[in-house]
């Protein structure tokens, strides 16, 4: 990022579906997030309507939509919480959808912004924020660490995929 660049978040809307679809289809996102859902509306509509416990945000870099951050109370994902060993916390995942902006510090700045500006509003009383990217996703692990998250352990996915996740925690 350049001096003076800004990062912020806004809630995702259905108007973001074309961007979301394009980003999810991009090879650098699919590698870590999997195939594009058969229906963007079916997966993300309930989240946008607040009928699902996951909150969806669009990452803005200098006012331009460039990626996605999703967050949720870990208590709403009990199997996931048990696997990573953190029951009481806020889970967070993100990706930068614009390939030209990968590796420029936008992910780190987004996480810092989320911690400083959005977490208290969305999750009053939070004590820790948890992320669990694939250990092979070095860019993501590094972004979380640069934002103050600490690698606490690694865990194997229990779905037979052979994926190992890095459990990173930011304590208030």
Cα separation, 127 vs 157, in Å, equals: 25
Residue 36 in contact with residue 21, Cβ under 8 Å?
yes
Hey, what are 75's tokens?
């208590």
Q: Domain 7-171 carries which CATH code?
A: 3.40.630.30
What pLDDT, on a 0 to 100 scale, did the predictor assign at position 1? 58
- Parse the chain into domains and list their residue ranges: 7-171
Terminal Cα distance for the chain, rounded:
26
The DSSP secondary-structure symbol of 13 reads -
Hey, what are 158's tokens?
């229990």
SS3 144: helix
Q: CA 114: distance to chain centroid?
A: 10
Q: Which residues pair with residue 167 across a beta bridge?
A: 153
The DSSP secondary-structure symbol of 148 reads T
Query: pLDDT truncated to tens, each residue of the chain (172 aa)?
Result: 566 789 999 999 999 999 999 999 999 999 999 888 889 999 999 999 999 989 999 999 999 999 999 999 999 888 888 888 888 899 999 999 999 999 999 999 999 999 998 888 888 889 999 999 999 999 999 999 999 999 999 988 777 677 889 999 999 8
Which positions ≥6 away from 167 have C-beta within 8 Å? 84, 85, 86, 130, 131, 132, 151, 152, 153, 154, 155
């Amino acid at each position: 990022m350049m001096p003076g660049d800004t990062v912020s978040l806004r809630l995702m809307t259905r108007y973001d579906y074309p961007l979301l679809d394009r980003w999810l289809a991009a090879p650098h996102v699919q590698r870590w997030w999997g195939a594009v859902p058969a229906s963007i509306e079916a997966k993300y509509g309930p989240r946008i309507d607040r009928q699902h416990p996951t909150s969806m945000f669009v990452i803005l870099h200098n006012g331009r939509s460039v990626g996605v951050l999703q967050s949720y109370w870990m208590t709403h994902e009990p199997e996931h919480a048990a696997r990573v060993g953190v029951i009481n916390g806020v889970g967070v995942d993100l990706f930068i959808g614009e390939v030209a902006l990968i590796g420029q510090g936008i992910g780190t700045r987004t996480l810092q912004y989320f911690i400083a500006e959005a977490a208290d509003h969305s999750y009053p009383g939070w004590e820790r924020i948890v992320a669990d990217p694939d250990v092979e996703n070095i860019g993501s692990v590094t972004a979380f660490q640069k934002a103050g998250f600490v690698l606490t352990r690694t865990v194997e996915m229990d779905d037979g995929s052979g994926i190992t996740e890095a459990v990173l925690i930011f304590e208030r």
